[in-house]
Structure 1
């Protein structure tokens, strides 16, 4: 019997012993490469401390917590918004739902207390300050994206657990923690989450592991959230690949101009990219993040996955500086390419289909 219980030989990303990236076999690094990276970083004193404070903002708790009731009373006057909680955790409120991406509220992204990457900046919202969360999207099982304490806290929220949407293999991990409201998807599969909103798991170029013996045993991916008032794209952690052009092609019939156009917002990682010889296959840099935004046909993007955990060799405040420079160099407006403060909420224009 294959070690991968989901194995489907017709799927190029499936293997009998796990999953793979069809476009690259260089994502997972050897122990020798990991040691070379860490020794080089230690020798060169990397990452250097940030030279500028990571921007923060006081969250608009009143608006966030009142969203569901306000949207139900008057959807036209209470459109979509996003709030950057920190790292890859974003609270998106759209289609009457509160959606949380890759929640981590813990002090460290690590399996061991007192060890591993420590938060440089507190979350923009504490778990008790969140509105009732309807939907949690988990992109993969790395500790900075799938945090045990955070998912347990969300599962025990007042009013009942959210629906957790996860890639193949993670339903069992959640079930072991008593979390059973789970939709488990393969790439391109979808789930109707109510209120006319659909969630689709999308391919990404990354990898998975939480220990020494489970590498590539669970799937990874990104998400499209398709609500009536907003189409949201989140790739999770990823290297740059042809997958993103395929995403645009896949959704083109539903994103014609008369139907409201392309994705209204893309939450794209811009940090954890250095050194490129080690990171390029698994984490995009800022230039590639802009390419992803263009490839999927998003109207605007916000840079996430920076400023919280020092996971690579660039300083925590380097990605936004690079993004500002590229934005200016390429004539992109601030409305097309957002940089947000941790805790900040920004409103999005509601998606409008042209009248027939």
Structure 2
């Protein structure tokens, strides 16, 4: 019996010491046995802090969706649908951009649903409709996902995209640990490529590289940090775009700038930052967004992650004003860090 009990104990210890992260690599600081972690920040905020924030919010005068009237600019949409020559950038809303780059149509964090939520009847609701309907999009070659929260990874949008193309092959590029989620959807005939930080994948001469961001992942009560989060580098020839994803400020942006030398264009979040005591680790404010712009050595940046869903406490239309103040503080021209109207397209011939 003693031997049996000892064997049971050893078995339990062995199971407890095993990794539940199938991608675990002990040589990588952002890997844990259970998932992933940020390098520059101790993830210590939990349910208590979240409930405190939500309680405090009850006593604040936070504008609701009816208080906003954002303009949608569809001037160039018809051209964009058939565009195969000019590099362009169209802001669909939140962190969703259509990037036309070296012959590819690329979508970032596509979110075309009414709510950023696991259910259709509750959760953050759109203030502005998607500036271009998914059905009106050209065929999409690549979709890059920064993390698995519902404002970046939307199941209805993913399924619709998998059925959208008429001619081109669609590839989802996702952070490590996310492919299993896509496999469960049994999407056909799309490719799903998952990458760890610093790994890359090439599509028709355009290279996509996952790089660090400071955020987290969670889609249920029991899967926090199981899937990695990332920023993305898109490059072809000497042209280079940086998509920061959803992120707090951290030193790794300087490392990215040093690694790549410069970026012609950077897409950087400027919204969802209040209250700072709670949001700072995971969401940059406009001042920190400008610091990222400088750190990655961007020739030009465009603000995102604002003006679409009420996620946090600041007014939805405040980020551009705060961004202008930060640019003045750092003596940077407003033309170097721009804010688009929803739906606005700008052609990037002078950058790419």
CA RMSD, aligned part only? 1.6
After superposition, give the CA deviation of every residue in 1:71-98 in whole Å (9 maximum; x if it has no partner). Answer: 2xxxxxx2x2100000000011111111
Alignment pair present for 1:236 and 2:214 = no
Q: CA deviation at 1:323?
A: 1.2
2:230 is aligned to 221
The 4+ residue runs of structure 1 with deviation greater than 4 A are 47-52
Q: CA deviation at 1:169?
A: 1.1
Q: CA deviation at 1:324?
A: 2.2
Q: CA deviation at 1:212?
A: 0.7
Counterparts of 1:1-356 in structure 2 under 5 Å? 1-26=18-43, 29-47=45-63, 53-68=69-84, 71=85, 78=86, 80-157=87-164, 158-179=166-187, 180-194=190-204, 196-228=205-237, 230-252=239-261, 262-350=262-350
CA contact (8 A) 2:68 2:127 kept: no
Distance 1:325 1:53, change over 3 A: farther
* Secondary structure of residue in 2 paired with 1:136: strand
CA contact (8 A) 1:84 1:90 kept: yes
After superposition, give the CA deviation of every residue in 1:12-45 in whole Å (9 maximum; x if it has no partner). Answer: 000011100111113x621111110001011123
Q: CA deviation at 1:55?
A: 3.3
After superposition, give the CA deviation of every residue in 1:107-156 in whole Å (9 maximum; x if it has no partner). Answer: 00000111000000001110011111110000010000000011111111
Q: CA deviation at 1:251?
A: 1.3
Runs of at least 5 residues in structure 1 that lack an aligned partner in the other structure: 72-77, 253-261
Distance 1:48 1:324, change over 3 A: farther
Query: How many Å separate the matches in 2 of 1:239 and 1:296?
Result: 14
Query: How many Å separate the matches in 2 of 1:59 and 1:112?
Result: 33
Distance 1:340 1:245, change over 3 A: same
Q: CA deviation at 1:160?
A: 4.8
| Higher Rg of the two aligned structures | 2
Report the more deviating stretch, 56-65 or 219-228. 56-65
CA contact (8 A) 1:59 1:125 kept: no
Q: How many residues align?
A: 332
CA contact (8 A) 2:114 2:120 kept: no
CA contact (8 A) 1:83 1:345 kept: yes
* Secondary structure of residue in 1 paired with 2:41: coil
1:255 is aligned to none
Query: How many Å separate the matches in 2 of 1:120 and 1:219?
Result: 29
Query: How many Å separate the matches in 2 of 1:287 and 1:166?
Result: 28
CA contact (8 A) 1:138 1:166 kept: yes
Distance 1:20 1:144, change over 3 A: same
Structure of higher RCO (CA pairs closer than 8 Å, 6+ residues apart) = 1
CA contact (8 A) 2:94 2:309 kept: yes
Q: CA deviation at 1:332?
A: 2.7
Query: How many Å separate the matches in 1 of 2:66 and 2:295?
Result: 31
Q: CA deviation at 1:348?
A: 1.3
Query: How many Å separate the matches in 1 of 2:258 and 2:80?
Result: 34
